[in-house]
């Protein structure tokens, strides 16, 4: 593994995640032996607006059950389980963080979806699959940890079938001052590789993917965090949520992210791009 990969694995996979999730589920009154995909959504959709945004991304693609999906940087596999349950698709996920892959595999077993989902350890920069086999490549909140954007999007384009679709939801550098850290994806700038929306769009197009929709979601994201903060103010932090994945300074990371969005230090957008048919 190259140095950045080691740092990313350490940032996300700090140990004890399965235990934290089990404690949270217990406190939330969920029985681990009869878990549903929805029970896990508060913690396994580790991206802005959680499951709410997963649904919006999925709706862009008109998915059907014959689609083979690759989730690049799948984290705990929450999206894979949602797509397998909702659209009956087979989904493969790859992720650099070993602990996420093993916890995600366990969670998939617990909800009874192991026959449709395989999560593997691997790098987005060396996707361990042959050319042109996926109908859909999905990626949410991953490229901000990857400096080599050209290689990231080239690998995605390579494994897509002709006519295949890239679905994405990502954080970008805004036009304001430098972002505050720690942020959910990085303690400091060392593993943060933000580029502007314009730069990302240009790289996506350079690798032969045509952007069909690009939808900025900054306002919705700020509104979401305001709603969550109000709930925490009234009822305290929920027993199960993405704060379990962010270590002891989760509150600082989330507060900084909201400031970064509000002050245009970062932006967030989702969309779809299509590989040409030839
Ligand atoms: C914020 S989490 C998002 C996880 C998941 N996509 C989700 O939305 O729940 C970022 C993920 O990107 C993964 N990641 C970062 N760099 C990667 C790389 N080069 N190859 C594969 N995964 C990577 C991390 O291990 C982590 O699981």
- The minimum-distance atom of ligand 1 relative to the CA of 140 is 6
Q: Tell me, what's the pLDDT at 175? A: 97
Closest CA to 97 of 245, 244, 240, 252: 245
Residue 1 pLDDT > 70: no
Q: Tell me, what's the pLDDT at 2? A: 63
Give yes or no for residue 261 CB within 6 A of ligand 1: no
Residues 6+ apart with CB under 8 A from 69: 63, 80, 83, 89, 90, 91, 92, 134, 135, 136, 137, 138
How large is the average pLDDT for residues 230-234? 84
171 confidence band (pLDDT: 50, 70, 90): very high
229 confidence band (pLDDT: 50, 70, 90): confident
What span, in angstroms and rounded, lies between the C-alpha atoms of 90 and 84?
6
Give yes or no for residue 82 CB within 6 A of ligand 1: no
How large is the average pLDDT for residues 240-262? 95
Q: Residue 29 Cα, ligand 1 centroid: separation in angstroms?
A: 29
Q: Residue 95 Cα, ligand 1 centroid: separation in angstroms?
A: 6
- Residue nearest to ligand 1 atom 16, measured at CA: 145
How large is the average pLDDT for residues 210-238? 92
Helix axes 218-235, 250-262, angle to 10 degrees: 140
Residue 277 pLDDT > 70: yes
Residue 267 pLDDT > 70: yes
Give yes or no for residue 103 CB within 6 A of ligand 1: no
Give yes or no for residue 97 CB within 6 A of ligand 1: yes
> Which position has the token pair 């933000």?
194
> Which position has the token pair 């894979």?
80
Q: Tell me, what's the pLDDT at 236? A: 83
Condensed to tens digits (0 to 9), the pLDDT of residues 64-121 reads 999 999 999 999 999 999 999 999 999 999 999 999 999 999 999 999 999 999 999 9
What span, in angstroms and rounded, lies between the C-alpha atoms of 243 and 21?
11
Q: Which CATH fold topology does 3-275 show? A: Rossmann fold (3.40.50)
The strand pairing partners of 272, in sequence order, are 167, 213
- Residue nearest to ligand 1 atom 9, measured at CA: 46
Q: Which of 120, 142, 184 to mutate to test the pocket of ligand 1 (most atoms within 8 A of CB)?
A: 142
Q: Which of 11, 45, 145 to mutate to test the pocket of ligand 1 (most atoms within 8 A of CB)?
A: 145
Is residue 166 exposed (0-12), middle (13-18) or buried (19+ Cβ within 10 Å)?
buried
Cα-flanking dihedrals φ and ψ of residue 85, to 5°? -75, -45
Helix axes 3-12, 98-110, angle to 10 degrees: 40
Percent of the chain at pLDDT > 70 equals: 99
Condensed to tens digits (0 to 9), the pLDDT of residues 123-158 reads 999 999 999 999 999 999 999 999 999 999 999 999
**Other C-beta atoms within 10 Å of 249: how many?**
12
Contact indicator for 260, 174 with CB cutoff of 8 Å: yes
Q: Give the full edge-to-edge strand order of the sheet including 209-216.
A: 117-121, 90-95, 68-72, 134-140, 160-173, 266-275, 209-216
What span, in angstroms and rounded, lies between the C-alpha atoms of 27 and 262?
33
Condensed to tens digits (0 to 9), the pLDDT of residues 20-38 reads 999 999 999 999 999 999 9
């Amino acid at each position: 593994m190259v140095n950045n990969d080691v740092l990313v694995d350490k940032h996300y996979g700090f140990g004890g995640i399965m235990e934290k999730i089990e404690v949270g589920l217990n406190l939330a009154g969920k029985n681990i032996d009869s878990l549903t995909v929805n029970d896990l959504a508060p913690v396994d959709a580790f991206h802005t607006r959680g499951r709410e945004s997963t649904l919006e991304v999925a709706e862009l693609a008109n998915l059907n059950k014959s689609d083979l999906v690759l989730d690049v940087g799948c984290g705990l596999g929450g999206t894979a389980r949602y797509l397998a349950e909702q659209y009956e698709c087979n989904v493969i996920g790859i992720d650099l963080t070993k602990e996420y892959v093993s916890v995600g595999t366990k969670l998939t077993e617990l909800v009874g979806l192991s026959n449709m989902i395989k999560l593997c350890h691997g790098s987005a920069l060396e996707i361990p699959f042959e050319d042109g086999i996926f109908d859909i490549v999905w990626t949410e909140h991953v490229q901000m940890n990857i400096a080599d954007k050209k290689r990231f999007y080239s690998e995605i384009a390579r494994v897509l079938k002709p006519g295949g679709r890239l679905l994405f939801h990502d954080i970008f550098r805004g036009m304001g001052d430098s972002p505050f850290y720690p942020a959910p994806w990085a303690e400091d700038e060392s593993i943060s590789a933000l580029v502007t929306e314009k730069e990302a769009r240009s790289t996506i197009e350079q690798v032969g993917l045509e952007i069909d929709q690009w939808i900025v979601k900054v306002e919705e994201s700020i509104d979401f965090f305001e709603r969550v903060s109000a709930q925490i103010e009234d009822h305290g932090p929920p027993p199960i949520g993405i704060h379990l994945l962010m270590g002891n300074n989760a509150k600082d990371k989330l507060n900084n992210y909201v400031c970064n969005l509000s002050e245009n230090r970062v932006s967030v957008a989702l969309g779809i791009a299509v590989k040409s048919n030839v």
